[in-house]
Amino acid sequence: MTEPATRQAPATVPHESLRATLMSVLRSWWERLRNDPGGRAGLRRCQSVTQVYFEPAFHRLLHDLREVGLLEDPGPRLSHDKIAVAAAALSHVKETSEERGFGQALGRLSGDKAKVSDLRFRALLREDAPDDVLRAVIRTVRLLDESVPAAALGADLILWGDAVRKQWAFAYYFAAVPSKP
């Protein structure tokens, strides 16, 4: 008698592999969003995470993440609220920039100072509630002329926590400190 087949749990996805997969999905979704003025406008109007839940473009992102196995059980525990923050924030990005990450974009120099002040940067890092993170990130994206590394920002917002905060801090201060002549 043969034993019934059992479903094997996928191996745990390492953080960097998870981030790379998220960035790939987000890059593709964001490109489609850029060509969907109605979907983009709907997300841009959202002032809270709850409002994002009622936007079809958000549900297309959830579908894309589900298709690559990122919302399956067992699998990585991705917060729908954090995904909503990422979707709404990315709707404010007009073009992706060449920086390697959002932390580096935050430290982008304008003259001899960072475009995002140290005070504003620290305030952003202190945010924890999804609605507060959403508002702070949208303000910051606007300060950066709506040109940031879209996929990296989205992945970081989905993975938001101390590890992302530390990564942003290293990148921000490295980029914001002008090199000595």
The domains located in the chain, with CATH, are 15-176 (1.10.520.40)
* Strand spans (E) along 91-143: 109-110, 113-114
Predicted pLDDT at 5: 43
Q: Hey, which residues does 114 pair with through a beta bridge?
A: 109
Three-state SS at 24: helix
φ, ψ for residue 153, nearest 5 deg? -60, -50
Angstrom distance (rounded) from CA 108 to CA 174: 10
Predicted TM-score (pTM) of the model is 0.87
On the 0-12 / 13-18 / 19+ scale of CB atoms within 10 A, 63 is: exposed
Could you read off the pLDDT of 2-50 as tens digits, one per residue? 444 433 333 334 477 899 999 999 999 999 999 999 999 999 999 999 9
Angstrom distance (rounded) from CA 27 to CA 150: 7
- Tell me the pLDDT of the chain averaged across its residues: 88
Predicted pLDDT at 74: 61
Could you read off the pLDDT of 159-171 as tens digits, one per residue? 999 999 999 999 9
Handedness of CA 80, 17, 145, 139 (dihedral sign): positive
Residue written as token pair 């525990």:
77
Q: Quick check: 43 and 87 in contact, CB under 8 A?
A: yes
- The mean pLDDT of 56-78, rounded to a whole number, is 88
Task: Return all residues near 170 (Cβ < 8 A) that are at least 6 apart.
Answer: 103
